[in-house]
Amino acid sequence: MRLRDLRTGEEREAAGTDVAPGTTAIRAGEIAWVSHRGETYRLSAVPRFSSRTAHRPEDTPSLEAPMPGRILGVRTAVGATVRKGDTLVLVEAMKMEHAVRAPKDGTVTRILVTEGQMVGLGDVLVEMG
């Protein structure tokens, strides 16, 4: 099967026959977690026949929650013109606050969350055009 290392993006073919000494692996959903010689890796299988589109943050039309947490505030509005780096949404988790910022100049086309709402990792918060 074809596998991708989630940190480096490196892809390689491998057969699932053997786990080498000094290696521990576990599957969680679609992710394989591997500990090998003191380092931890996360990998996923690359679908065989799908056209893989590279994830390019500057082209992402939606902004996702960077972690599970609570929406502290929405700092923009639908139709607002925003500059790259503007704070759009504040998320609180584990007693820390994180600002979700505009990845580019553009217009806010949709807001999917409200203050006080709990969100999961990767939930879409805002869409930009």
Partner 1 sequence: MTGVGRFGRVLVANRGEIAVRVIRACRTAGLESVAVYSDADREARHVALADAAVRLGPAPARESYLSIPLLLAAAKETRCDAVHPGYGFLSESGDFARAVTDAGLVWIGPPAEAMEAMGSKISARERMRAAGVPVVPGALIGASEEHEKISLNGTFKEILSLGFPVLVKASAGGGGKGMRIVTSPSDLSEAIASCRREALAAFGNSTVYVEKYLDSPRHIEVQILGDAHGTVVALGERECSLQRRHQKVVEECPSPAVTPELRARLCKAAVEAARAVGYVSAGTVEFLLEPSGAFWFLEMNTRLQVEHPVTEEAFSVDLVALQLRIAAGERLPELPAAPAFHAIEARVYAEDPDAGFLPQAGRLLVWVEPSGPGVRVDSGVISGQAVDVHYDPMLAKIVAKGRTREEARRRLVAALRETVALGVATNLSWLGRLLESDPVVRGETYTGLLETLLLPAPPPPPHEVFAAAASVLSGPASAAPGSTKSSWPGPFDTRFRMGGGA
Footprint on this chain of partner 1 (rule: CB under 8 A): 1, 3, 5, 7-8, 10, 12-30, 32-45, 66-69, 72, 90, 92-98, 121
Closest CB to partner 1 among residues 35, 107: 35
Amino acid making up residue 100? V
**Using an 8 Å Cβ cutoff, are 2 and 32 in contact?**
no
Q: Which two tokens stand for residue 91?
A: 């998320």
Min CB(49)–partner 1 separation in Å: 17
Minimum distance from residue 129 beta carbon to partner 1 (Å): 25
Measured from the CB atom, the residue of 13 and 54 that comes closer to partner 1 is: 13
CA distance 32 to 28: 6
Q: Pairing between strand 11-13 and 39-45? A: unpaired
